[in-house]
Every structure is written in C-alpha cells, then in structure tokens.
Amino acid sequence: MTAVTLFTLAITTTTLLYFKPELRGLTQRMTRRDLVSILQFLVLTFIILPILPNQNYGPYGAFNPYHVWMMVVLISGLSLAGYIALNWTGHRYGPVLLGFLGGLVSSTATTLAYARLGKNNENMQHLSAAVILIASQVVLLRLLVISTLLSPALLSSLLLPMGAGLVLGVATTLLGWKRLRSSADLPKPDSSNPTEIPAALGFALVRSVLDECELLLLAVDPAWRGRGVGEALLRDSLRTARRRGITSMNLEVRASNNAVYLYEKTGFEYVHRRPGYYRGNDGQLYDALSFRIDMLA
C-alpha cells in the first residue's frame, strides 16, 4: 500500500471509531428496507457504473452507456435522499433539505422524481410541489453565483432577470410552504423501493441506414397509454429523423395492434401485409402490417 492509502485508511478508521455511538444510534433507527435501498444504490453506483464503457455508440455517437447510467444513478440517489430526509428529518423540514440538495445536484432530476411522487400519491402533491419549487430557486442562485465568479461583468445583466425570477419564485414557494405546514397530518411517500429504476413514460427505438430509417419499437408505460405519450414520441422521432436528413421511415406492426390508428393519424401509409410475421406468447403466428411515411412530401 502507498502512504496515501495508509493515511486514508487511518483517518477513516479513526473517524468511524470516534462516531461509534452516533453510528450505533443510526443503525438502530434503520429498517431492513433502508439497508436494502442503500445497498442497491451502492451497487448501481460503485459496481455497475465503473464497468460501463465511457464512449459513444451508434449513429452520430448518440448513445453513451456511462452517461445514461450516470443519470440512473443521479435519479436513484435523489429518490434515496428523499426517502432518508422524509423519514429521518421529518416531514416538516424534509422538503427544505430535499429542495436544497436537489437544486445543487440537478433540478431536472429532482422535478422528475417528485413529479412522479405527486402523480402516484395525491396526498403528497403539496410536499412534491414544495421540493420542486425550492430546487428551482436554488438552481437560480447557483447559476447567479457561478456566472458572477466566472465573469463578474455579467452580474449587472443577470441581476434583473434572475432577481425577478427569484422574487416570484420565493413568493410562490412561501405560499406553498404555508399550505404544507397547515396540513395536520402529512403522510409518508408510498414507494415500493427508494432506488427504483423505472422512470421513463416510454421510449422509441429507431434504426437508420443512409437516408432511410425503421421504427423498431415504440413502447409506453401501461399507466400512461391513451394520454398522447406514444404520439409525442412518434412525432419527436420523425422530427429528429428529418433533422438528420432522413427521407423516409418504415415500420411493421401487428395487424390487431391499436397503434395502427396512431400511425395512420401521423401520416404513415399502408404498404402491404406480411403473413405470419409475429409469433405470439401463445405460439401462434400473427400477420403484420407494413407502413411507410415519406418525409419529403
């Protein structure tokens, strides 16, 4: 071992021994679920993340496994931090801590995590709104400080718009905080796992060759079907393809799939039927319908 490693181990050991009573009290307050959640987050962060390649793949280098998993770790970490803050610091002061930390780390990820919490539990909507509002104000302060440190001359230009945003944001936050504090009984978040990974409403997978592309998969969370998520994904895929010089998009869909109406609605034209193209879970073969859209039309 190097001298630095030995020195680090010595400091760590001394720190753990010094705070032994506090750590013992902390572990007594932790449940099995707490330990499992922390261990899952450690696996996501220190086992899976380091082995992922940090390089770009696919057309235009659009996919980087390391960056994608980093976002998974970030959102999972915020969910875990929320669970700990609300259970260990209390519901009255937990939102302040959550909003502050979320604004420092990522206001976008914080908004995503707590918007989902408010959607899944109506009783948590005021708390989620308070966390998101506080995080939004923190990120404004962070941007103002960083901009001033890097280029002090920008302060005069940024002070008015960011100051106005802060004043309005703080006023809205205080109003939401007053409503939150007036609640007689604030429930705890009902989540199956603080480090849960599923967060996407849906996704589209497209493959391109030269000036043509194929929609391989369009999937939407069952809880969000029928709310326009699939159409938004499809239209965004078409816009992205056009920006990259793609002239046409093709796809196949099972003849009995309700998505047929979505494709026709967005301008896809029927080409032909492909008998026995899909094999279902029951072992039977099902016909597929081929569709195509010309983006130059």
Q: Tens digit of pLDDT for each residue in 172-215?
A: 877 777 766 555 444 444 444 555 544 456 778 888 888 889 98
Specify the CATH number for the domain of residue 216: 3.40.630.30
Q: Tens digit of pLDDT for each residue in 110-120?
A: 777 777 777 76
- Residue 106: pLDDT band by 50, 70, 90 thresholds? low
Q: Are residues 116 and 255 in the same domain?
A: no
Catalytic residue among 196, 252, 277, 286: 252
The overall pTM is greater than 0.85: no
17 within a domain of the structure (yes/no): no
Q: Are residues 210 and 281 in the same domain?
A: yes
Q: Are residues 41 and 162 in the same domain?
A: yes
Burial of residue 286 (number of CB atoms within 10 Å: 0-12, 13-18, 19+) = middle
122 is catalytic: no
Q: Are residues 239 and 168 in the same domain?
A: no
Q: Which of 5-9, 87-91, 117-121 has the highest mean pLDDT?
A: 5-9
197 within a domain of the structure (yes/no): no
Q: Are residues 148 and 214 in the same domain?
A: no
Give Cα separations from 212 to 57, 176, 236, 242, 292 (angstroms).
19, 50, 16, 10, 10
Instruction: Report yes or no: 158 and 147 within 8 Å, Cβ to Cβ.
Output: yes
- Tell which residue, 104, 112, 114, has the closest CA to residue 82: 114
In this prediction, residue 189 carries a pLDDT of: 44
Q: Are residues 43 and 92 in the same domain?
A: yes
In this prediction, residue 115 carries a pLDDT of: 79
Q: Are residues 126 and 220 in the same domain?
A: no
Structural domain harbouring 164? 31-52+61-181
Q: Are residues 159 and 217 in the same domain?
A: no
Q: Are residues 268 and 209 in the same domain?
A: yes
Percent of the chain residues past pLDDT 90, beyond the cut: 2
Residues 6+ apart with CB under 8 A from 47: none
25 within a domain of the structure (yes/no): no
Q: Are residues 122 and 162 in the same domain?
A: yes
Query: Would you say residue 83 has pLDDT above 70?
Result: no
In this prediction, residue 180 carries a pLDDT of: 64
93 is catalytic: no
Q: How many domains does the chain have?
A: 2
